[in-house]
Structure 1
Amino acid sequence: MRFIRFPAFAARQSGTSAAAGASRSRVLWLACVAHALHDGYTDLIYVLLPVWQADFGLDYAALALLRGVYVGTMASLQMLAGRLARTLGNRMTLALGTLLAAAGYALAGMSGGLVGLGAALAIAGAGSSTQHPLASSAVSKSFGRDARGPLSVYNFSGDIGKAALPAAIALLVTLMPWRHALWVVSLAGCGVAAALALLMPSIPRGEAVEARTHDAAGQGSGKGFALLLTTGVLDSAVRMGLLTLLPFLLKEKGASLTMVGTALSLVFIGGAAGKFACGWLGARIGVIGTTLATETGTAVCILAVLLCPLTPAMALLPLLGVMLNGTSSALYGTVPELARAGHTERAFATFYTGTIGSGALAPVVYGFLGDRIGVHGAVVATALTALTIVPLALALRPLLPQQR
């Protein structure tokens, strides 16, 4: 009997070990691949905006609306994706969402006008709505209390996609029509969807584990969270608004389409570095000091890129990316500190809804500004928006005990 039980126990231990070892690693790397693909899908639109402007005769507002349709659909359906995962499971929902995103880009390659293109991007955005909530929760559930490091790898992988796919689409459209280029990236998405469906380990639906300990003593007031949310919304507006306008600003300076793709990759590479740099900076000067430094630096870098000729402007783009992306990483870590006890997840959901929603609406606002006062005036408006965050950060300081 003892001999019979031992293999059974060993089998259970082996299963646990596999879940904690190779299985967990597979979850992490597949989640990273999904994150890179979906973030790349989101940001390759920036490279295609000038192409669509020439092909369909669109103004800046219409172009910004296309971007807003994708991001708005992605943001609004994330809660629904979570509910769907309770029925189908994380793995299948994430795989189907990836397939739907790929199908949306395939349909975009077949579109003949603004309405068809907008509908295709809405489909792609609906598919991408599954990625952030499900891939990140898969990593959290797999690694439990040890998820902090793996989640940082997962977050960084999105920046790899942001750097790689825009550059790839910029190269592809020089070799083939833009419609065919979209079909190529759609095929890549189908491959990732298949890998997720076949290789992603099954994630237990009812075993979500808290990866971080919530310190109730550090909770702030509702006013503090409102200030934090407003800061995040404005920061996202600056980032998304500028990225929408940047290709047109660079074109005015004489940049080719390939150079525009390279420029965006430089910004995104800088943004990836900004996550690490601002984590280091935040540990030394605090969240408020980091926010003041990054937002002031963002405004200065935007104005410098606006005023400089093309070559020095391109050289400034990685630093601009550091500043643009740095604030968000600092703000994210402050959400639990200002959340009410037992409402940390809801606080994160509210924060992401606000910032992603801002990312969808801000390009439309700045696009209208571009139509009314020109690209240069709209770019100046993004710099002024960054500076409005400074007094908000100062008002938030007394509501954060460690910042006093």
Structure 2
Amino acid sequence: MSPDNTVRRTGRTTVALLAGVYIIDYIDRVMIAIALPLIGAEFGLSHTGQGLVVSAFAIAYLLGQLPGGLLADRAGARPLLVVSLLAWSVFTAATGLAPGLVVLLVLRALFGLAQALFPAASFKALAERTTREARSRAAGLILASNNVGAGLGPLVVAPLVVLAGWRHTFWIVAAAGLVVGFALWKLLPPPLPRELTEPDDAPAASVGVSVALRDGLVLRCALMFACYNMLNYGMITWVPSYLVEAKGMSLVSAGVSSAIPLLVNAVGVIVGGWLMSRWFDRSARRLVVPALVVSAVLLVLMLRAGSTTAFTTLQTLAMFVNGLAAIGIVGLPLRVLPRAVVGSGMGAVNTGGQLAGVLAPLVMGWLADRFGFGAAFGFLAATTLAAALISLVTRQRQARQVKEAVS
């Protein structure tokens, strides 16, 4: 096999495996949102209490991002990917045994810590196994798989919850995670030679996470990702409950309706990755800012929708346009950071993104209890505009502080 074919095959296999794991990852993650009405009824929880169940995962997931990035740079991507997947599958299964709220919160936190090891390691694996020219498209496919998993989650989980109960559903999905973990261990190809994945003058030394934290571009991307990700976490967590409680839909119908925008968002992420690699690679904000502004406008129109069909249609359009901006935000540090610090840098950026996972469920749950779902979804429009403003003042450049620190 020619060297070019080997490079392409390595990249495609890596993307396919990581995308498959992310689909399982997000099915595991959105299960709790689908099961929340039943869990809330069984444990007697308010909307705020149900939001706390989701945020228990998100807080642990947030706290684990920086250590996960440091471990990825120190221990390597492959072992960390497999350990993370196997551990979160075990805690997924254990969630089905929770006897009450306290144990459920502990298990969701442990689940979050286990999953926190995965993102930085996955970006590290991608940086080691793709060329820079192919990386935006590859990252787009991987990020899109997140939303494919989030979209498939309601379609898979809602019927299982109805047929088998929420506890048995966690056990079934956990078993699937163990199977995928074994496939990842056996099939993930070795890294490409360093000269194929980054310029010859890029530093090869390994550094700690503090170096990435000192870079202004990394910090801005982290803050931007925090505002951007509010929409994704907010939709995943609260749309099923909104459709059941405010619109009177059945759990299965609500699962189908909430899945459509997430699947369309995955298409938007893929299209955005292609647009970035084709026209916007040198100035991401030319794509990011218009996409986020249009998405915010569509969210405002969604709030005024009188029917479920109009609500879902506008939500779907907003999620598609929002997806166009994903690679311009998350992929920016992935393109400019040396491979030696990709794990640490992306761990820092993902810490910002996962701050949304802590805040969105709690803030939206409180707003829904206090003012209604209209205020809760209005919060998402505001944070989307905030992400656009940060992008507007962020200029793309090489991460000079990181390069100087490892030189």
User: Is TM-score (shorter-chain normalized) higher than 0.5?
Assistant: yes
- 2:242 is aligned to 249
RMSD between superposed Cα atoms in Å:
3.6
138-147 vs 247-256, which deviates more?
A: 138-147
**1:173 counterpart letter in structure 2:** V
- 1:364 is aligned to 362
**1:258 counterpart letter in structure 2:** V
Q: Is the 8 A contact 2:17 2:188 kept in 1?
A: no
Change in CA separation of 1:35 and 1:214 when aligned onto 2, cut-off 3 Å = farther
Displacement after TM superposition at 1:110 (Å): 0.8
360-369 vs 21-30, which deviates more?
A: 21-30
Q: Is the 8 A contact 1:91 1:202 kept in 2?
A: no
Which runs of no fewer than 5 residues in structure 2 stay unpaired? 203-213, 398-407
- 1:298 is aligned to 295
Of 35, 39, 42, 2:22 maps to 35
Q: Does 1:73 align with 2:60?
A: yes
Displacement after TM superposition at 1:382 (Å): 2.1
Displacement after TM superposition at 1:224 (Å): 6.2
Change in CA separation of 1:311 and 1:194 when aligned onto 2, cut-off 3 Å = same
**1:132 counterpart letter in structure 2:** P
**2: CA distance, partners of 1:215 / 1:290:** 29
Which runs of no fewer than 5 residues in structure 1 stay unpaired? 1-12
TM normalised by structure 2 equals 0.79
- 1:154 is aligned to 142
**1:355 counterpart letter in structure 2:** G
Of 253, 272, 286, 1:259 maps to 253
Of 104, 116, 122, 1:135 maps to 122
**2: CA distance, partners of 1:227 / 1:142:** 26
**1: CA distance, partners of 2:140 / 2:382:** 31
**2: CA distance, partners of 1:67 / 1:111:** 15
365-374 vs 176-185, which deviates more?
A: 365-374
SS at match of 1:110: coil
Q: Is the 8 A contact 1:287 1:330 kept in 2?
A: yes
- 1:321 is aligned to 319
SS at match of 2:371: helix
Q: Is the 8 A contact 2:293 2:385 kept in 1?
A: yes
368-377 vs 25-34, which deviates more?
A: 25-34
Q: Is the 8 A contact 1:171 1:258 kept in 2?
A: yes
Displacement after TM superposition at 1:272 (Å): 0.9
Displacement after TM superposition at 1:108 (Å): 0.9
**2: CA distance, partners of 1:132 / 1:376:** 32
Q: Is the 8 A contact 1:97 1:128 kept in 2?
A: yes
**2: CA distance, partners of 1:222 / 1:83:** 16
Listed one character per residue, the Cα deviations across residues 116-155 of structure 1 (whole Å, up to 9, x for unaligned) are 1112212222222232222332333234556525444333
Q: Does 1:211 align with 2:207?
A: no
Of 248, 264, 269, 1:275 maps to 269
**1: CA distance, partners of 2:335 / 2:79:** 34
**2: CA distance, partners of 1:79 / 1:151:** 20
**1:370 counterpart letter in structure 2:** A
- 2:162 is aligned to 174
Percentage of identical aligned residues: 23
**1: CA distance, partners of 2:50 / 2:199:** 43
**2:126 counterpart letter in structure 1:** V
Of 188, 193, 208, 2:181 maps to 193
Report how many aligned residue pairs link the two structures: 380
Q: Is the 8 A contact 2:19 2:146 kept in 1?
A: yes
Q: Is the 8 A contact 1:301 1:320 kept in 2?
A: yes
- 1:7 is aligned to none
